[in-house]
Amino acid sequence: MPFDLLLTGGHVIDPSQSLDALSDVGIRAGRIVQVGPNLDATGCPVVRNVTGQYVCPGLIDLHGHWYEGNLYGIDPLICLNHGVTTAVDAGSTGYANFPEFRRNVLDRCLTDVLAFVHISFMGLHAPYAEELVDLRYARPEETAAVIGKNRDCAVGVKLRVGCMTANHGIAALDKALAAAREAAVPLMVHISRGAEEKEILRRLRAGDILTHCFHGRGNGMISETVIPEALEARARGVIFDVGHGCGSFSWDTARRAFENSFYPDTLSTDLHRYSVTEPLTVTLPQVMSKMLSIGMRLEDVILKTTAAPAKVLGREHEIGTLAPGALADVLVFDVETGQFSYTDTHLKVGYGDRRIVPRLLVKAGQEHAPGSFAVNLRALYDSDMEVFRAIGH
């Protein structure tokens, strides 16, 4: 049977198969059918010559906020503009509003959206009085029950520790861990200023995720060196995720981590209403380009946005791979060379000589042009400016 879409001559990088070579990619009925040189184009209605460009699995963004029923969320359709075919919501909803989020977003968006369910009943609602200032909002039983009923798209439990948990961060962590154990899913923990990193890291289990690993607000986990608790957690199988956002990526912290050979396991944007526009306009290719600029190899940057997050999600046979049978989510991109400036969330400018630019996206076998999806963002209010002021913007 002929392919219905064939990409020819591209430089394919698929870390899931240790593939890094010139190759064609054959697609039929929304699935990858074959990857190899000189595939037979006979009868194939659409053949794209992508010679001179890179080809990799559609990107997976492990951390973003896609529920517009609170002040953080934005429309996940925007992900397709950046080459991201699977977007993971990091706990924008809790057990009370997850079903509505599912109905109106997860089940409808062209981008595949999976979600962590927040231990707080309504998820993240507002930055000015956050979700766990009252510990009664943390609901292990109900959270585990909702995950149990939505296993196809509810992938874990989320918790933010820092100012949003007032002074009971560890009590909240214990409740979130109880929910994750009950539902047999990973826990994603956000750390920011005020989080008790050592205590958190001691409690996390293999497969749990620590996000904002390079936030650089206070020197909790990484100062001159990386604290032993982080090294022990990594050895145990805890995942360290970037979660760039509007306040969680520091050049200095990332460089110090790299000097200590402490690299992130997954790269993610933490895209939301406060990181999507100026001054940061975060995208996943931009976060990837930043990692290239401080010494990560292109193959590793692809690994950490494809096969690695797919494995964290337990979906490594379906997404993040170009293996035959996988969903036909594919990104064609260029790596431009020049001098590019990149800003961290402390507004410190760094420079890099490469930039990843998405050129063609295939989502479930259908072609799309990155940048072609129009997305409306909610208006900002004066109260929103508090968020930018709080992080020094």
- Kindly list the residues in this chain that would bind Zn ion in the complex (CB under 5 A): 90, 270
- Name the minimum Å distance from CB 267 to Zn ion: 14
| Length in residues, the chain | 393
Helix H or strand E segment including 257: helix 251-259
Q: Which is nearer to Zn ion, 3 or 66 (CB)?
A: 66
Helix H or strand E segment including 156: strand 154-161
In DSSP notation, 210-233 reads: EE-TT--SS-SSBSSSB-HHHHHH
Other CB atoms within 10 Å distance of the CB of residue 281? 11
Q: Which is nearer to Zn ion, 87 or 90 (CB)?
A: 90
Query: What does R_g of the chain's alpha carbons equal in angstroms?
Result: 20
Q: Which is nearer to Zn ion, 177 or 246 (CB)?
A: 246
- Name the minimum Å distance from CB 158 to Zn ion: 8
CA-nearest of 105, 102, 104, 131 to 118 is 131
- Name the minimum Å distance from CB 29 to Zn ion: 35
Which single residue brings its beta carbon nearest to Zn ion?
270
- Name the minimum Å distance from CB 290 to Zn ion: 18
Q: Which is nearer to Zn ion, 54 or 121 (CB)?
A: 121
- Name the minimum Å distance from CB 209 to Zn ion: 12
Rounded Cα gap, residues 386 and 104, in angstroms: 29
Q: Which is nearer to Zn ion, 143 or 211 (CB)?
A: 211
- Name the minimum Å distance from CB 243 to Zn ion: 6
- Name the minimum Å distance from CB 63 to Zn ion: 6
Q: Which is nearer to Zn ion, 90 or 310 (CB)?
A: 90
Contact 333, 10 (CB under 8 A): no
Which CB contacts under 8 angstroms, 24+ apart, belong to 145-154?
145/95, 146/95, 146/98, 146/99, 146/117, 147/117, 147/179, 147/183, 147/185, 148/183, 150/98, 150/99, 150/102, 153/102, 153/106, 153/113, 153/114, 153/115, 154/98, 154/114, 154/115, 154/116, 154/117, 154/185
Q: Which is nearer to Zn ion, 197 or 270 (CB)?
A: 270
**Token pair 């050129």 is at which residue?**
359
Q: Which is nearer to Zn ion, 218 or 371 (CB)?
A: 218
- Name the minimum Å distance from CB 188 to Zn ion: 9
Contact 11, 55 (CB under 8 A): yes
Please state, in angstroms and as integers, the Cα–Cα distance from residue 331 to each residue in 13, 24, 60, 117, 393, following that order: 10, 13, 11, 28, 33
